[in-house]
């Protein structure tokens, strides 16, 4: 280590040679990929070389180097997870063609029918559906807002949705008769 710190390239090469197989195993175990492990170890050894002065001598050089490899592998896995989540989010995006007048009118009529059906429900039903689906509150948040137990929110939501469906269906059948 002392020779590596003084700039002797062959000495650092010897440190790498001695610890490379262990470093590859550590990186492969943490990353789950032997192919990615090679890149991780290479990046880690570059960091080790640039930070030779940070080695304090408290433990073995081997354990210090492998700790750098392990940290690099963990960072790599976190980055991979972030990239996968980002790609999943972006793959869910879709491009829609501009809506035609018919689509806008149809959607408007559906919204009006839904609003009329909601208007025919009791205030208790409107409150629970409003909290859950309009405000986007969770069951526990809705329970806190309404001052009831979470189980009550579940049962009220279920019953209110059933009554809303009936009201919506009856409004649709009345319109079709006109």
Task: Pick the more confident residue, 91 or 70.
Answer: 70
Indicate if the pLDDT at residue 169 is higher than 90.
no
Which of 91, 114, 144 corresponds to the end of one domain? 91
167/111 same-domain check: yes
29/110 same-domain check: no
Question: Does residue 153 form part of some domain?
Answer: yes
Residue 132 structural domain: 101-177
pLDDT digits (tens, 9 = 90+) for 18-37: 888 888 888 888 888 788 88
Q: Copy the structure tokens of residue 12.
A: 């650092």
- Residue with the two structure tokens 């806008």: 104
Say which CATH number the domain at 133 has: 1.10.10.10
Q: How far apart are the first and last CA of the chain?
A: 90
Cα dist from 138 to 121, 126, 134, 145, whole Å: 21, 16, 11, 10
3-state helix, strand, coil in the chain (%, to 5): 80, 0, 20
pLDDT digits (tens, 9 = 90+) for 92-128: 666 566 667 787 788 888 877 777 777 788 888 888 8
Question: Does residue 136 form part of some domain?
Answer: yes
Say which CATH number the domain at 52 has: 1.10.1740.10
How far, in Å, CA of 112 to CA of 97, rounded?
Answer: 24
Does the pTM of the predicted model rise above 0.85? no
By CB atoms closer than 10 A (0-12, 13-18, 19+), residue 16 is middle
Which of 53, 70, 91 corresponds to the end of one domain? 91
The count of structural domains within the chain is 2
- The answer to whether the CB of 162 falls within 8 A of the CB of 115 is no
Question: Does residue 51 form part of some domain?
Answer: yes
Question: Does residue 40 form part of some domain?
Answer: yes
Question: Does residue 96 form part of some domain?
Answer: no
Task: Pick the more confident residue, 56 or 97.
Answer: 56
Cα dist from 48 to 41, 45, 61, 90, 169, whole Å: 10, 5, 10, 36, 69
pLDDT digits (tens, 9 = 90+) for 124-168: 888 888 878 877 888 988 888 888 999 999 999 999 999 988 887
Which of 91, 120, 155 corresponds to the end of one domain? 91
């Amino acid at each position: 280590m002392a020779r590596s710190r003084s700039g002797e390239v062959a000495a650092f090469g010897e440190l790498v040679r001695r610890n490379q197989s262990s470093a590859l195993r550590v990186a492969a175990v943490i990353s789950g990929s032997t192919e990615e492990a090679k890149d991780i170890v290479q990046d880690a050894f570059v960091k080790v070389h640039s930070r030779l002065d940070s080695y304090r001598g408290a433990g073995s050089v081997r354990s210090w180097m492998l700790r750098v490899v392990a940290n690099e592998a963990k960072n790599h896995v976190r980055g991979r997870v972030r990239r996968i989540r980002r790609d999943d989010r972006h793959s869910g995006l879709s491009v829609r063609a501009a809506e035609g007048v018919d689509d806008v009118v149809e959607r408007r009529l559906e919204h009006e029918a839904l609003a009329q059906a909601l208007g025919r429900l009791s205030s208790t039903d409107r409150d629970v559906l409003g909290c859950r689906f309009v405000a986007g509150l969770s069951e526990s948040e809705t329970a806190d807002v309404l001052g009831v137990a979470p189980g009550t929110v579940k049962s009220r939501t279920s019953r209110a949705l059933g009554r809303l469906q009936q009201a919506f269906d009856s409004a649709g059948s009345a319109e079709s008769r006109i």
